[in-house]
Amino acid sequence: MLTVHAYAATAATNPLGPTTIERRELGPHDVLIEIKFCGICHSDIHHARSEWGSANYPVVPGHEIAGIVTQVGSKVTRHAVGDRVGVGCLVDSCGECANCRKGEEQHCLKGSTLTYGGIGKDGQLTQGGYSTHIVVTEDFVLKIPEGIGLDAAAPLLCAGITTYAPLRHWGAGPGKKVAVVGLGGLGHMAVKLAHAMGADVTVLSQSLNKKEDGLRLGADHYHATKDPETFKKLAGSFDLIVNTVSAKIDLDAYLSLLALDGALVNVGAPAEPLSVNVFSLLMPRRSFAGSLIGGIRQTQEMLNFCARHHIGADIEVIPASKINEAYERVLASDVRYRFVIDTATLK
The footprint of ligand NAP (CB under 6 A) covers 41-43, 46, 158, 162, 182-187, 205-206, 210, 244-247, 249, 267-270, 291-293, 330, 333, 335
Q: HSE (CB half, 13 Å, CA atoms) of 30?
A: 15
By CB under 5 A, residue 190 contacts Zn ion: no
Contact 37, 342 (CB under 8 A): yes
Q: Between 120 and 160, whose beta carbon lies closer to ligand NAP?
A: 160
Q: Shortest Cβ distance from residue 35 to ligand NAP (Å)?
A: 19
32/179 with CB nearer ligand NAP: 179
Report the alpha-carbon distance of residue 100 to residue 109 in Å, rounded: 8
Q: Report the residue count for the chain.
A: 347
The answer to whether the beta carbons of residues 320 and 312 sit under 8 Å apart is: no
Which of 198, 209, 40 is closest to 128 using CA atoms?
40
* Beta carbon nearer to ligand NAP, 46 or 177: 46
Q: Which is nearer to Zn ion, 41 or 91 (CB)?
A: 41
**41 is a contact residue toward Zn ion (CB under 5 A):** yes
CA distance 5 to 259: 51
Is residue 163 at the binding interface for Zn ion, with CB under 5 A as the rule? no
Residue 68: Cβ-neighbour burial (10 angstroms; 0-12, 13-18, 19+): middle
Longest distance between any two alpha carbons in the chain, whole Å: 62
Residue with Cβ nearer Zn ion (142 or 258)? 142
The SS3 assignment for 106 reads helix
243 near Zn ion (CB under 5 A): no
Extract the runs of DSSP E, i.e. beta strands, from the chain: 2-8, 17-23, 30-39, 65-72, 84-87, 90-92, 113-114, 133-137, 142-143, 177-181, 200-205, 221-224, 238-243, 258-266, 287-290, 315-318, 338-342
Could you tell me how many residues of this chain bind Zn ion (CB under 5 A)? 3
Tell the smallest beta-carbon distance from residue 158 to Zn ion (Å): 3
Side-chain half-sphere exposure of 61, counting CA atoms within 13 A: 27
Q: How far is the CB of 201 from ligand NAP (least distance, A)?
A: 14
Residue nearest to ligand NAP (CB): 184
Is 24 or 221 the residue whose CB approaches ligand NAP more closely?
Answer: 221
What does each C-alpha distance from 267 to 84, 228, 241, 294 come to in angstroms? Answer: 28, 24, 10, 11
Report in angstroms how near the CB of residue 80 gets to ligand NAP at its nearest: 30
* Part of the chain binding Zn ion (CB under 5 A), chosen from 42-50, 143-151, 170-178, 206-214: 42-50
Whichever of 202 and 246 has its CB closer to Zn ion, that residue is: 246
* Partner in contact with 335, chosen from ligand NAP, Zn ion, none, beta carbon below 5 to 8 Å by kind: ligand NAP
Among the residue ranges 35-43, 113-121, 204-212, 231-239, the one whose residues contact Zn ion (CB under 5 A): 35-43
What residue is closest to Zn ion based on CB?
Answer: 41
Q: Which of the choices Zn ion, ligand NAP, none does residue 333 contact, using the CB cut-off of 5 to 8 A by kind?
A: ligand NAP
158 binds Zn ion (CB under 5 A): yes
Contacting residues toward Zn ion, per CB under 5 A: 41, 43, 158
